[in-house]
Amino acid sequence: MQRKLLVTGGAGFIGSHVVRRLVARYPSYQILNLDALTYAGNLENLRDVEASPNYQFVHADITDEAAMDRVFADHVADAVIHLAAESHVDRSILDPLSFIRTNVLGTAVLLNAARKHWAGRSDVLFYHVSTDEVYGSLGDIGFFTEDTPYDPRSPYSASKASSDHLVKAYHHTFGLPVVISNCSNNYGSHQFPEKLIPLMIHNIVQRKPLPVYGEGLNVRDWLWVEDHAAAIDIVFHKGRLGETYNIGGFNEWKNIDLVHLLCRIMDRKLQREAGDSASLITYVKDRAGHDRRYAIDASKIQCELGWSPSLQFEEGLERTVEWYLAHPEWVEHITSGSYADYYQRQYIHR
């Protein structure tokens, strides 16, 4: 079946993996990658597919109403996979309005364009990709389910919660065919080194301090980005309209334990003495409003759609380290602009 899919944020970390998968697996689909190319959007992430006959890049900002109207009119997409978002918690604390503009207003602009150009059609889909952070913070036990009440704690998570509610409202009010997924922390290749794992890898290579918030006891559920892309593929094709699917790795780690594991892998890969990298760990003041624990119950997508993670975390982390060590030029290029020093000054764990 021929389809034309508009993937927003397709030059970013998760988006590039989704685009790459769709281009390779569905040669009869036309994949339109729409991205504003802000600091974390990088077309180098898609060099391997840019010449594919079923791939096209569209440079535009989702907050631009006229531009989105033109995109829908010119390209006649029959589905949207919406990944474009500001996603960096610490920056949302420093500049909340930029997150509201992109994540809330941008989503509303897309929804309006879809509603206008898809009027009367039932063979379309607006797929909104969101985060587990909309659910707030867990204690030592329990998991987020699709029925967990929203309780966002940061400007970032509040902006994503707002966009989730808008998508649901357009479904219920206007009958727009939608589906939503909420994922846990992603890791893997092509992630901008402001997030915990690529930041630590980069700093270990450079023998720079490894900043850990508080005592490092915050817990996150980690999901390999290629497993997430596979889940998005399945939800897009098989998910029930109007439903939400939580996507998690069944893989909880305390930040400090993850950093120690990463240090051991890096010492081995770099042929350094055991404990060399761990000596760089530096405890820093905790982030404002830092959520204690995230953990997803992904049994719904597992039972209904047959998805489950393919990798154990240790194997995924090994592959991630190997990719960054094999692509120092990618890291150097992406961190060499005006943003180069920012991620070193901030302590980003999401």
- Catalytic residue annotation: 132-133, 156
Matching residue, tokens 């290629």: 226
Cβ 229 vs Cβ 189: under 8 Å: no
C-alpha 132, offset from chain centre: 11
Amino acid, single-letter form, for residue 88: H
- For residue 263, give the H/E element and its range: helix 255-269
- Vertex 201, ends 196 and 203: CA angle to 5°? 95
Cβ 164 vs Cβ 180: under 8 Å: yes
**219 pairs with which residues across the strands?**
254, 293
CA distances from 195 to 130, 255, 322, 345 (A): 17, 12, 17, 12
Residues 6+ apart with CB under 8 A from 284: 211, 212, 213, 347
Which of 81, 76, 43 has its CA nearest to residue 62? 81
Matching residue, tokens 């892309």: 229
If one counts every other C-beta atom within 10 angstroms of the C-beta of residue 217, the result is 14
CA distances from 268 to 224, 271, 332 (A): 22, 5, 22
